[in-house]
Structure 1
């Protein structure tokens, strides 16, 4: 059972059901017990809580009746009766107010990052005013408890800002501190935190104005002068002294120009993986949003790591290039930190420079230097014990202990989704968000929403493809865009001028993956494009073999293409290999360029003709359900084979 007192009163049982605790006195009784979970609360204290200075004539019996009603509202065995009082039999952390106080006490003993993390967790438990909705009108004990909790909240907030300023996050805190200082004009700790943050950002004049406002508020409200600590800070600023940290730059992550849409659950999951594992790799096809997800996850963690979060981009490194030097440049390490270049190899000097740093290193776009990136990550993690690495790649780095998170396309609405469900789906939200930036007259009616859903489905929910489509809406309508996606590679070419060349057009995105394949992988990928609804291993071995590809090699090639995020292996016992629509169209074009389309389609037709002929006698026997299921799985392929035969005059 969970009891919420830090906001609207709420009781939730283990099954997630909200328990109804009706009546102000019943809620007041539960609140009094919940603030001391596992401990006996004297009957006299409970009477004071519930009735204040006007208890009933027979207070003991009235209290007993209330306890009886409370027991009926809560799970059995929750409220224990003892000779001198009553006890709530729940764990302390089951009550948010008690958990809040325990976290704040633990934070006092923690170091900088741990202290910030604990205080954030504690303050995150608050949902509103404490003991709200209890509703006891004349209970000084209840009012005192609520006041005490609110004071603890404010003190914990001040502790959090002090701790975060100690970690060098002054600039990020200025807006929050400005609002709080205005709300609590006589809280000197808030004023001092705001002054330090402003001074660290080079805004000394504003810091001096904060002091003056606080001094005036103290004089008007309390008739007192500022404390010696606040006055000393004021004098330091007047004399031109500095309270800035010389090294406040704790990340090289750029501020984003667009909103982050549709991946809130992924963001939480990646954060948990990075916390639990020292190496996490985000995998997925080109344009799936791996880099953006990695940087957003890193941005969230910057305040928790004393040495920050740093992005190293390998996109500009040529295949087989020097990833160590790229890392040194990305981290901005100076020669003074690296030592004499003649004394050691660059990798040794890099390890020496970051050996004791508690930081997150994001290695972006590792796929074309995956061997070198894997070797670098293995070396750094082995010798830098406080380092964590978050990599992005179209295939795993392949290191023992590596945690993987496949970055899937954005969620698409179901075929029978309502307009509201369509509008709230992640893919459509992204398209509308990006489209709104390029045209102001975008309609918000049901027809437009459904057309947007068609566009997103045609583009497989891939974020970069959706953004390229949104850019096209500068010069065409949503309906025109939807009808022209059959020629998507010619249509989607309006990427950002500052983006990587391979992210400016849809074809360039897939070209980049194509260039990283072997000839055998390319052949199998092209030949798979004739399948509809995916291919079984047996079918792929029959249809995709030929030339330099032996049937026995097909499984390894399918595995390699799956690892490189060009195929999806779906299913358990007998997986089927599928490809996204954009990849399939690209592969079909490459198959035509190779002059193999008719040959591979004929092999596809032959296989499924044989399958149908083999299935016929079994459809009247005991194994008919097994064969019907197999034919059902191949329904799209059989239909495609029949249509291909008709089109080729081989009916």
Structure 2
């Protein structure tokens, strides 16, 4: 028999015939017995279930009578035992127990990662419900609530499984309905966020988090759990575009090369450097892409667009998704690359190394020597010449794969091409492929001609052309001659207008938009010509940009009439991109900055080429372009890339600014300052820049110059009366002044004034819509809120800042804000969430190649471990942080805090002498850096007398301008001192320390 209690009681005979248990009492009795099918149900439970708290006299006899009637009516085996009754049926015959079994099995499969089976079992379990459970059992509210919770949990497990299987949009209505009945379920909020995000609605997903936060605060006075907060941050991080590049997507089928793929796979398993060699057009790039596609952690680096070897490390950094921060001047690119790859094991695919073979070999050798996990798959027309390199020549396609490639590409341009079905056409196809030496690029170019030629015409033309060129330069490789013949033959099939545009398009090193083509090439309405060149495989088009394959580009460039024509084109190209950059420059400081940032990023190759040309041909124009790009470089990309170009431009311009270009010249000098101390001429240029900036009259046309100078020259340059006049009254400039004033007030120990200045700056930047400015204000505002103990406000401010830096694709600044958020959570006592934030901050900083900030996150993990009582683990983190810090102005201050952490860990282990030694080291270092507030609070913990403790706490308050509310490291020390002193003596000593400030700490 089968029984159902997940709805109205349902009893079925073995053949499926429904059976009637009788009236309400028998139905209730059977339901009670089925709840514990196969087990004894106590008499008291049965009596209470049938009659409630006030059973009638003779209830036991009445119960026995009801059992007897059930036995007779349904033929059930109900056993009477001394303590109650047992229904002798298998739990598997009762829908409730089957539901519980399926739900548990589904949850186990979900945990093991078998999402498909988990979803199937959970759907089966939920399908057993036919309505309100236990419908025939009165007064079962508590039991019913438990069953409803089980049903909800199984439903949520099923949703988790479907989300893991790629579900999303279809789950949103169901989740919203569930939330309407469970408005405080954090799990449902999290699932709705994930479903919306999976459905391409990330903004709505973040809004759901705010709904959850408000609902929990209004109903319970609590914040979202660490898990929901972590999901919120995960979705925020999911918006960051700064990720390493995997292999590029391909638009055509890959044909042949099975043996080569197997060999490359075997070589990469045992060798750290494999170089695919062969002539241009042999298919090296496509083979490398296909070989790397199935491998984990692949980063594809395209070297073909680079102009010189110095750009190779920057290209790898860009491909890895590493960029300079908004505040960090670019340093040595190679060192940053080594830092970004430290501890990682990616496969770097370095494509098209031949024109930069020496530089590619140098960087590759350095990476392989310093990063033991890194492997490299290179493509080049010659080997890199590094010890341990294994060369893998890429041969021509054999006859069969070559013919299949030709037929596949021919069918794409001429539907119904019967090359594989007709004997004559098969023979012609084989002849064409043999004449082209099986080179894939040549085959594809030839197949593209079938748009306008028959196969016979194609074979005739191709044969004539190759016979003519076979008598060319015998010193050249035959395949090179053959490929050139194919390209030249394709060239001659163009009409004169197409050739003219193809020649002029070679001025664009990284593709061009339609507007750029029209403006630079001087051909009105070029749309039809561009379409024709695209159809004839001379151009590729993607996202509105037209570009040439490198082989085609090189050939067409060689067809330019003379050097004068090339110079005229380069002048027009540079002029267009100078105008574009100057039009974009003010837009980068407002609400439209994101599309303009994206637009300039797409044109980086063209902008770099324009700057190189102007540096040589028109240095004054070069100053204008470099100045217009300076803020773009600060917000996006690798700042270090600009230094060499700025130095070259400065040499071309001379030692004094040209008339009317004072700001541009000052920015050029500022851009020569890399900030890494490697250039002995840098101090002189620093002094030169200081003089130039001082001489500028306001209001500035390029107010971001002040930011660039304050970052490069130091905070002392960020705020003076002269700067006020230079910035003027533009809202962005006024907000910038308040931002600088906020930092000055903060450094002076006046937090209230600093907070007010940052708040004004935030309002100003919000008015302009500048995300950079808002993020820079939200960070310190959150810190001050944290100091005041307003930690919910601090988290809200940081969350807004995380949105802005995510939109700016700034992983380093994201790491900063996550670190700040972790600190707030740490003080709030949410140690697990704080640790997760610190770990994520370390991961982002490591990926960005910023070891100082990795160390700072390690210090935070040390603080978490110490406050959780694991002092041994805390010391490990602190020691790792101290080893990682570099000797610069940023890390010295963090080193002070780490030394303080070491002292507090020793103090927690009752090693007061060791703690005092750590604190003394921190004090000595802090005396030089000004980071004395933390040291003063730490020294208070080992003070010999309560008056000394109070004075040191007062000094810390004076140095910082306030105390950090609820600091557990300080509260206990202060309470102990207060307990040993009268209120008057404590306040007197505290005020004495506050007035002495740093001198009290130094003398201690």
Shorter-chain TM-score range: 0.3 to 0.5
Greater fraction of residues in helix: 2
- RCO greater where, 1 or 2, for CA within 8 Å and sep 6 or more? 1
TM-score between the two structures when normalised by the length of structure 1: 0.42
